[in-house]
Structure 1
């Protein structure tokens, strides 16, 4: 047998601290929108907020306006706490909201409040959905769930909001980890 040099393996990749640090739920989140949903009063979009650590999902309907997005983010923070890190793609709505948040942060009235709850916003590279893997995967799950629920029916926006919240409950109702020997590998 001829001598073969040992294989040189690349150094192990370090996972980001946001993926390995124990945090409260929804402290580090990913944001994205799905396709438009037709209602009897117009078109709405679905906003997904996904917890990076636990893969829990928060869903709400949006009109793709920055001021509406800020109100949705405030509703989310009121029920789940203000996230410290937000990851999203480069959607126009998110850029406007990020600019709006930065302007609000520098105003004297809100500086005291936001000093303790500062949000760091990370935008992934344009046209690269694979970089938002943890939340892009959950978008597929949400789309499949809503496709079976909504089908081609047209609902009132409040009915869509109710169906979206019911889908959120179904999607977020999964175990965080395996218990005992119940793993199916």
Structure 2
């Protein structure tokens, strides 16, 4: 057994190929990006405290992030956040987002707000600007990297 241990050579583990969105070269940042919602956060407006939510856009190629603040988790708020991001970074070609299942552990207000998001309205808004919006299946966060299991 000692001889076997001394003669052993370390081997590199075999890994699968990365999705095409992760290795897209010669393209600007945020061409392929993931979208996720987080919150609520308390912000101070004047002398009162209000709830706000955040939208994080993650570039799948260079791993850069862009944060936006929204007033609520409605479809209109998310579209406005996407337009603000696109005004600064350019319209993405592919967007990947989950179906809100990551927020199931949150309070009832988050659940109610996530159900108000209209998938068809989001897809139509993105399609007007040449963007393909893919929603990954529930309970599969590894599909958010683009390409391999995207719908």
Q: What is the TM-score with the length of structure 2 in the denominator?
A: 0.64
Equivalence for 1:153: none
Equivalence for 2:99: 90
CA contact under 8 A between 2:19 and 2:145: conserved in structure 1?
A: no
Structure 1: unaligned runs, 5 residues or longer? 1-10, 106-110, 135-185
Residue 133 of structure 1: how far off its partner (Å): 5.9
Aligned equivalent of 1:132, options 131, 141, 144: 144
2:59 maps to 1:56:
no
- In the alignment, the residues of structure 2 paired with residue 93 and residue 83 of structure 1 have an alpha-carbon distance, to the nearest angstrom, of 25
Equivalence for 1:72: 81
Residue 103 of structure 1: how far off its partner (Å): 4.3
Residue 93 of structure 1: how far off its partner (Å): 6.6
- In the alignment, the residues of structure 1 paired with residue 93 and residue 131 of structure 2 have an alpha-carbon distance, to the nearest angstrom, of 5
Question: Which one has the bigger helix percentage?
Answer: 1
Equivalence for 1:24: 28
Q: What is the TM-score with the length of structure 1 in the denominator?
A: 0.53
Equivalence for 1:38: 42
Residue 102 of structure 1: how far off its partner (Å): 4.0
Residues 4-59 of structure 1: per-residue CA shift (max 9 Å, x gap): xxxxxxx8622211111212110001111123102334211111001111111110
- In the alignment, the residues of structure 1 paired with residue 123 and residue 37 of structure 2 have an alpha-carbon distance, to the nearest angstrom, of 22
Distance 1:53 1:101, change over 3 A: same
**Root-mean-square deviation (Å):** 2.8
- In the alignment, the residues of structure 2 paired with residue 20 and residue 47 of structure 1 have an alpha-carbon distance, to the nearest angstrom, of 24
CA contact under 8 A between 1:38 and 1:44: conserved in structure 2?
A: yes
